[in-house]
A and B are shown apart, each in its own frame.
Chain A
Amino acid sequence: MKTAKLILGEWNTKTIVGVALGAALFGVLMVFGGITVFTNTRLTTAFLVPVVVGALFGPLPAAVSAGLGNVVADFIGAWGYWFDWSVGNAVLGFFIGLLPVYGAIITKGKFNLIHAIIFVITGFVGNVVAFGLVTPLVTLALYGGELNITLAQAWAAGISNSVVLVVGGLPLLFALARVYASSTNLTKE
C-alpha cells in the first residue's frame, strides 16, 4: 500500500505545480539545451529534470513531466510531432523517478553510494525498456513503416541519455541531497 503511494505520488497542488514546472524545464532544455547527435535525436540535458522531479515527487510525476515535456518540446522545437518518443521518454522518466521507492529519500538528505549504484542501474534498464521496447512498439502502432529509423535513433538516444544521467544526474542528486540535509539540521546521536 505504501509502495503504491510512493509510485503514484501524492497529487496535491504542490505536485501539480512541480510537474508543470518540470515539463516546462524538460521542454526548454530539450530544445535549447542540447546538440544533435543523430536524425531527430539529441544529446540533451533534459533528462536531468525527471531526476529532480522524481526525487521530490516520485516516479509517476517524473514520467508525466518527461512525457508532457517532450510534447511541449515538439511544440516549440520545429522538428514535427513524435508521440512515440513522448511515450518512451515518459517510461524512462518513470524509471529515473523511482528514487524514493528504493529508499533514496532526497528530501530528507538520504542519498548514498548504494542509492547511486541503483540509480545508474535503473537508468540503464529504463533506457533499454523505454527505447528498446516501448518506443518501437508505439512507433509500429502509430507510424507504421518508420521502424528502421526508430531503432537506429533508439541506440543514439539510449547512449546519450545514459551518459547525461551518469555525468549530470549523479552530481545533481548529491547536490540536492546536501541541500535538503543541511536544511533539516538534525543529527542522530
Chain B
Amino acid sequence: MANNTMLINFKPNPSFLGRLNGSTKVPLFAVVLTAVLMSFDIRIIAPILLLSSVALSTLKPNKTILKASMIFFVVLNVINIILFWLVDPNVGSFYLGGDRTPLFNVGNMVLTQESLWYLSVRFIKIFTSFMVSLVFIFSITPSQLAAGLASLKVPPKIAAIISLTFRFIPDLANDFQLMKISLQARGLELDASKVNPLERLKRNITLLIPFLLTSFNRVEVVANALDLRGFGHQKKRTYYVEEPPTLADKLMKGLTWLCLFGVMSYVIYMNTLAPTQDMWAFWK
C-alpha cells in the first residue's frame, strides 16, 4: 500500500453514514460486529454482508486502496483456510454433529462436505467482519471515535488512547515510507529484483530499529500539546465533533437497539433453549 494516509479520514465522509454522530456510529458498529462474530450461521451473516457492501458503496472509498485490500484479504485468507484444513481435515464434522460425507480425495486426504461447508462459512464470516470494519473505518474520524466511545461511558483517557492510536497510523506509515526512501537514497538496496528475500527482510529489520527509536520522540511533543490544552484535568469532557442528534441519528440509534435486542435474544436462545449447538447447514 503506497499511500496509507488514505486509510484513516480526518474529515467526515460526506455520505449519510459519514454525517452521523460518533455516538451513533460506535454502538452501531459494536452491535453489528458482535452479530457477525457470535455465530457461524450463514442466515445471519449473509444479510449483514449484503448491507455492509451497500454501505461501503455509498462511502465511495478510494478504488486503489479497496482493490489492494481485497487482494490482500483473499490471498491471506485462502492460505489460512488451506493451512487450517491441512491441520484438521475433519474440522467440519465437529461443528455439524459428527457427520462425515466424503466428497473427493486430495492426495491421501479426504475433503468432506462438512469441512467444505464449515471452511466456506468461516471465510464468508471473516470477509463480512472485514467489510463491516472497512465501512466503519471509512465512515469515521478519530475524533468521532473518541466521542462515540465516551458516549458508551468509556473513561475519556481510554477513549483518548484509542482515538490517538488510529490518529497515529497514517503519520507512522508516512514516516516509515520517508525513512525507507532516504536510506535507499543513501545506498541501501531494497529492490526486490536485486536483493534476495531473506536479505531484504534483514535490511527491513535494520531499518526498523531507528524507526522505532525516532517514533517515540514525538511522544513528548504530542503530550506537551495535550497538556497545554488542559487534557485530563477533569473526569468528564465534551467533544467538539459531537453535534445535537438529527433525525438520521435517532433512526440509527433505534436500529442499534433493535439489533442489540436481536443479538441478545439469539445468544440467550442458543445457550438455553436451542436443541443443538451445531451450526446450520442447508442440507440439514
Q: Which A residues are within 8 Å of any B CB, using their own CB?
A: 11-14, 16-21, 23-25, 27-29, 32-33, 35-36, 38-40, 45, 48-49, 52, 56, 64, 68-69, 72, 75-76, 78-81, 145, 148-149, 152, 167-168, 171-172, 175-176, 179
Contacts and interface: CB of A to CB of B under 8 A. Distances in A.
A32 B94 CA distance: 34
B33 interface: yes
A81 B29 CA distance: 14
A20 B83 contact: no
Given A13-B227, A81-B129, A21 B219 contact: yes
B168 interface: yes
Contacts of B216: 18, 21, 52, 56
17 contacts: A13-B226, A21-B165, A21-B222, A24-B165, A24-B166, A28-B172, A28-B176, A38-B83, A39-B81, A48-B208, A49-B212, A56-B216, A64-B161, A69-B165, A80-B125, A149-B88, A172-B212
A78 B69 CA distance: 8
Contacts of A76: 7, 133, 137, 169
A80 B125 CA distance: 8
B133 A36 contact: no
Contacts of A40: 80
Given A13-B226, A38-B83, A172 B209 contact: yes
B220 interface: yes
B208 A81 contact: no
A29 B212 CA distance: 11
Given A36-B76, A39-B83, A72 B172 contact: no
B88 A17 contact: no
Nearest to A57: B219
Contact of A39 (B1, B37, B84, B169): B84
